[in-house]
Structure 1
Amino acid sequence: MRFRDFHRNVKLRIGLSFLSGTANNMVLPFMSIYFSGKLGDTSAGLVVILGILAGVVAGFVGGYYADRIGRKKLMLTAEIGWMICFMGMALSNSPWFSSPWLTFVLMIFVSMFWGIHGPANDAMLLDVTAPDIRKFMYAIMYWMNNLSFAIAGIAGAFLFKSYLFELFIGLSFIGLITLVITYFFIDEVYQPQPDCEESGHREGKMSMWSNYQMVLRDKTFMIFTLASLLLVSVEFHLGNYVGVRLEKEMVAAPFIPWMESSWTVDGLKMLGFIRTENTVLVVVLSVFMGMLMRRFSDSKALFVGYACYIIGYSYLAYSNQPWLLLLSMFIATVGELVYVPIKQAYLGNIAPDHARSSYMALYGMVYKGATLLGGIGVILGGWVPSWMMASLIGLSGIVGMVMFYAILAQLEERKVKAEMSHKASKATGSPASVTV
């Protein structure tokens, strides 16, 4: 399988995700600093909380309607919203007008439109990819996302403070490019039944509730989601508890302890080093690890990846030895590179054709929940020693891994069914459809 063999939708979405992701990451991760300086720490925290809530609610609504009116319509709605919001944020931070509060409100709307776009985009990618090539697709997307994050992190650190107006103008322009390409070149291959669009208002509300009840009753998917939450939270402790611990405990640690003249490093610098190491390793090793893992079955590679990932991140929560921290991040990153594409491919096989966006919307709660657990880890870390926190983080990952093992047979069964369904659909030439 080669990149050029992908459906045009996939190639365009990978390119657009890299472009918009690079632009967004030059601005959005730094907005907490902006609001803290302009409106105070309380407002900075409030925009994060309200943004998460807006994204969750919009994700559920967007997931439901993307399964009923099509993916492209929801994506276009969100992209128009982004463009208008970024134009408004540029105006609110222009040489002629300044309004941090308007910027605050527009940031909430940006989070809402992200919530609308995500499930529709994820489902659209699955609509046009065969089950056997999804692992390769997710590997490429994972690599591209990390590359864009690395580029944007460096550029944003230099440009954000002095060129915020210009950055928002750039975001507006990229929003326009994304909108134009989606409208003219992205194909809507998912065709829902017309009667789904003609439901009454009251019936629509009941249908949405019933729709998500149906998703919640899928035990395999719910165990998959909860296991993913526990495993993803292992990594999320890096930016929360691990960062706080290193800043407090690592003052001037010798980089190589057995050398008297060794260079010393403090906690904040060490955190920067291991974050940079993670990004660089992902960019450099993604292709190599993908080729290496072809020799092994998905199930074996998945659990080897999980084991390395859990061991690496758990040790990061305990050690203060710089070279061991770098080694731990190497092990954790290798594990991450192995398991992420496989797990995402399994996720794509779980969701039925007629409810993919709804499943993706509910799965999006994984990252919100992992963020919450990361915050709880900071609080808990103030009361218990680091060895206990490392044990709890490791236990969280192990429980998640055991849960995955418990549903592995069902995941393989759904993978086979998805492949058979795709072959049958390809043979008849009929698009995916939904019956309600």
Structure 2
Amino acid sequence: MRFRDFHRNVKLRIGLSFISGTANNMVLPFMSIYFSGKLGDTSAGLVVILGILAGVIAGIVGGYYADRIGRKKLMLTAEIGWMICFMGMALSNSPWLSSPWMTFVLMIFVSMFWGVHGPANDAMLLDVTAPDIRKYMYAIMYWMNNLSFAIAGIAGAFLFKSYLFELFIGLSVIGLISLIITYFFIHEAYQPKPLSDRGGVGDSFQGKTSMWSNYKLVLYDKTFMIFTIASLLLVSVEFHLGNYVGVRLEKEMASAPLIPWMESSWTIDGLKMLGFIRTENTVLVVVLSVLMGVLMRRFSDSRVLFIGYTCYILGYSYLAYSNQPWLLMLSMFIATVGELMYVPIKQAYLGNIAPDHARSSYMALYGMVYKGATLLGGVGVILGGWISSWMMATLIGISGVLGMGMFYAILAQLEERKDKAEKNHREAMATAAATTSGVTA
């Protein structure tokens, strides 16, 4: 499978995600600093909380309607919305006007529009991608996202403070470009079916069209809910890096020798160490993604998945305990290798779980995994103030092992849905080919 063989929608969305992701990561991660300086720490925390709530609510609503009126309409609505918001934020931080409170409100709306866009975009990618190549698609997206984050982190650190107005103008322009490309070049591959035509899990949807009925039936999908809870536990393992681990290193690592057995070794403090291992993670993902994908082809997906989970859990758990710089770097290497092994496979399993007519609804609920992991990361900071680092590392490890155990418990069901998705895809392709032949004849 080559990149050029993907459906046009996938190629365009990957390209747009890279461009918009780079631009967004030059600005949005630094907005807490902006609000803290302009409005105080309380407002900075409030914008994060309100942003999460707005994104969750909008995602639930957006996922419901994307399954009923199509993906493209929701994507266009969201892109128009955040383009207008970025234009307003540029005006609020322009040479003519300075309004942090207006920026505050618009930031909440940006989170809301991202919530609408996410489930529709995720479902659209699955609509045009065969089950057997989804792992490759997610591997490329994972690599591109990390590359954009690396570029944006460096550029944003230099540009955010002095060129905020220009950055918001750039985000507005990129929003307009994304809107134009989505409108003219993205193909709406999903056509909502009448309720009576839906099968599988969708049989239960017949006659139940309200939003609550829709999501209640998704919640009744036991395999999906176990998958989601397991993902939450595993993703939270990594999210402790930017929360508890960062706080612990800043407090406990004052001036540690980078290489202990060398007398003239450089020393490093906790904050610099955190920046170093986060950079290591990003660089390793960018450098090793393709290599890991090639090396893992000879092994079964289930073996790669659980070996990856094991490395990931061990690496991040040790980061919560150690203060030895070279061991921290080794742990991050092990954790990143594990992450590279499991992410594409796990995402491909996710793509096979949802029935065609309810993909956006499933993706909307799954999107709460990252919101929940963010909250668990905050809880980790609180717990870390009460218990020792080895106990915290143990709790993080237990969280990951529980998640891995839950995945193992539903592995048979995941493989069954994968086989069913591949069978349905082959039948759909055969039907399309027969129809084309009939028209030609």
Normalising by structure 1, report the TM-score. Answer: 0.96
Q: Does 1:290 align with 2:293?
A: yes
Cα pair 2:193 2:357 within 8 Å, conserved? no
1:355 to 355, 358, 366: 358
User: 1:194 offset after TM fit, Å?
Assistant: 6.7
Q: CA RMSD in A?
A: 1.4
The CA distance in 2 between the partners of 1:149 and 1:205, in whole Å, is 42
- Write the mapping of 1:38-57 to structure 2, written as runs, cut at 5 A: 38-57=38-57
- Write the mapping of 1:25-424 to structure 2, written as runs, cut at 5 A: 25-193=25-193, 207-424=210-427
The CA distance in 2 between the partners of 1:73 and 1:205, in whole Å, is 23
Q: Give 3-state SS (helix, strand or coil) of 1:193's partner.
A: coil
Runs of 4+ residues over 2 Å off in structure 1: 193-196
User: 1:206 offset after TM fit, Å?
Assistant: 6.0
Q: Give 3-state SS (helix, strand or coil) of 1:94's partner.
A: coil
Q: Give 3-state SS (helix, strand or coil) of 1:367's partner.
A: helix
Q: Give 3-state SS (helix, strand or coil) of 2:298's partner.
A: coil
Cα pair 2:259 2:325 within 8 Å, conserved? yes
The CA distance in 1 between the partners of 2:5 and 2:347, in whole Å, is 20
Structure 2 unmatched runs, 5+: 197-206, 434-441
- The 1:126/1:248 distance shift into structure 2, 3 A limit, reads same
- The 1:295/1:195 distance shift into structure 2, 3 A limit, reads closer
The CA distance in 2 between the partners of 1:184 and 1:40, in whole Å, is 43
Q: Give 3-state SS (helix, strand or coil) of 2:187's partner.
A: coil
User: 1:408 offset after TM fit, Å?
Assistant: 0.2
The CA distance in 1 between the partners of 2:189 and 2:209, in whole Å, is 27
Amino acid at match of 2:216: Q
The CA distance in 2 between the partners of 1:157 and 1:350, in whole Å, is 40
Structure 1 unmatched runs, 5+: 197-203, 431-436
The CA distance in 2 between the partners of 1:206 and 1:12, in whole Å, is 32
Amino acid at match of 2:44: A
Q: Give 3-state SS (helix, strand or coil) of 2:310's partner.
A: helix
Q: Give 3-state SS (helix, strand or coil) of 1:294's partner.
A: helix
Amino acid at match of 2:193: Q
Q: Give the match for residue 438 of structure 2.
A: none
The count of corresponding residues between Structure 1 and Structure 2 is 424
> How far does the alpha carbon of each residue in 1:43-85 deviate from its partner, in whole angstroms, 9 at most, with x for none?
0000000000000000000000000000000000000001000
Q: Give 3-state SS (helix, strand or coil) of 1:42's partner.
A: helix
User: 1:429 offset after TM fit, Å?
Assistant: 2.0
User: 1:378 offset after TM fit, Å?
Assistant: 0.3
> How far does the alpha carbon of each residue in 1:128-173 deviate from its partner, in whole angstroms, 9 at most, with x for none?
0000000000000000000000000000000000000000000000
> How far does the alpha carbon of each residue in 1:85-108 deviate from its partner, in whole angstroms, 9 at most, with x for none?
000000000000111000000000
Q: Identity across aligned pairs (percent)? A: 88
The CA distance in 1 between the partners of 2:148 and 2:411, in whole Å, is 33
Normalising by structure 2, report the TM-score. Answer: 0.95
User: 1:193 offset after TM fit, Å?
Assistant: 3.4
